[in-house]
Amino acid sequence: MKFLIGLIAGLIAFPIVAAIYFLGGFAPAAVSARAFPFEGIIAGGALEARLHREAPKRDLSSFTTADFVAGAQTYRKGCDGCHGLPGQKPLVPKMYPQPPELFTPDGYVTDDPVGFTYWKIKNGIRMTGMPSFDGVFSDEEMWRTAALLASADKLPSQAMDILKQPMFPPGAAEQEKAGDSKTPVK
């Protein structure tokens, strides 16, 4: 009988305490705040389970050098600002969780199946800054970018040449200002 009373009290008390914690403004919400209890386990576990259930399968060996080059071009259009480039830090200030730098050993996704990375690009990841690129990039562009990242530690030189170009080429700001100064004032 005591067990049953304790169980019922626990089933009632837990949701009330959780509601007070979240709705009372006690849960961390700022980017600079610490994670709330079990946040990593809850969010990471849900993502991992979804990936295993839904990520499509495609063999990485089916991608060519031309695919990696095209993937590098797509990466430059939509990913480098948050995830950086080889030897260049991302532009994004603080985010929580901080986006991985995908061209560093700590950020590599080379051990993930290419379908996992494709799924993340296509669908985005909730509770992070990772948007969905479905409808922004074609399916093939997303696959090529996923293949590029799955091979980040051993890319062909043609793809690396694209990725190693500076985010802001020297003289770009001056050219933009020069273009603006030629615009007639109304």
Residue 131 lies in a domain: yes
Domain that holds residue 143: 47-167
Is residue 49 over pLDDT 80? Answer: yes
Residue 35 lies in a domain: no
Residue 123 corresponds to which tokens in the numbers above? 């669908």
Residue 153 lies in a domain: yes
Three-state secondary structure string covering the chain: CHHHHHHHHHHHHHHHHHHHHHHCCCCCCCCCCCCCCCHHHHHHHHHHHHHHHHCCCCCHHHCCHHHHHHHHHHHHHHCHHHHCECCECCCCCCCCCCCCCCCCCCCCCCCCCHHHHHHHHHHCCCCCCCCCCECCECHHHHHHHHHHHHCCCCCCHHHHHHHCCCCCCCCHHHHHHHHHHCCCCC
Report pTM.
0.79
Residue 6 lies in a domain: no
Residue 182 corresponds to which tokens in the numbers above? 């030629």
**More confident site: 6 or 167:** 6
Residue 88 lies in a domain: yes
Residue 36 lies in a domain: no
Residue 36 corresponds to which tokens in the numbers above? 């709330």
Amino acid letter, residue 156: P
**With bands split at pLDDT 50, 70 and 90, how would you rate the model's confidence at 172?**
low
Residue-wise pLDDT tens digits, 8-23: 888 998 889 888 988 9
Distance CA 59, CA 47 (A): 22
pLDDT of residue 180: 54
pLDDT of residue 136: 97
Q: How many residues does the chain have?
A: 186
pLDDT of residue 76: 96
- Write b or e for each residue in 10-30: b if 16 or more Cβ atoms lie within 10 A of its Cβ, otherwise e: eeeeeeeeeeeeeeeeeeeee
Amino acid letter, residue 116: F
Residue-wise pLDDT tens digits, 62-108: 999 999 999 999 999 999 999 999 999 898 778 888 899 999 999 99
- What value does the mean pLDDT take over residues 113-131? 94
CATH of the domain at 56: 1.10.760.10
Q: How many domains does the chain divide into? A: 1
Residue 134 corresponds to which tokens in the numbers above? 């479905």
Residue-wise pLDDT tens digits, 134-160: 999 999 999 999 999 999 999 999 999
**More confident site: 182 or 130:** 130
Distance CA 147, CA 185 (A): 48
Is residue 184 over pLDDT 60? Answer: no
Residue 176 lies in a domain: no
Is residue 27 over pLDDT 60? Answer: yes
Residue 51 lies in a domain: yes
Helices 139-150 and 114-123: crossing angle in degrees, nearest 10, is 130
Return the number of other C-beta atoms located less than 10 Å from residue 66's C-beta.
12
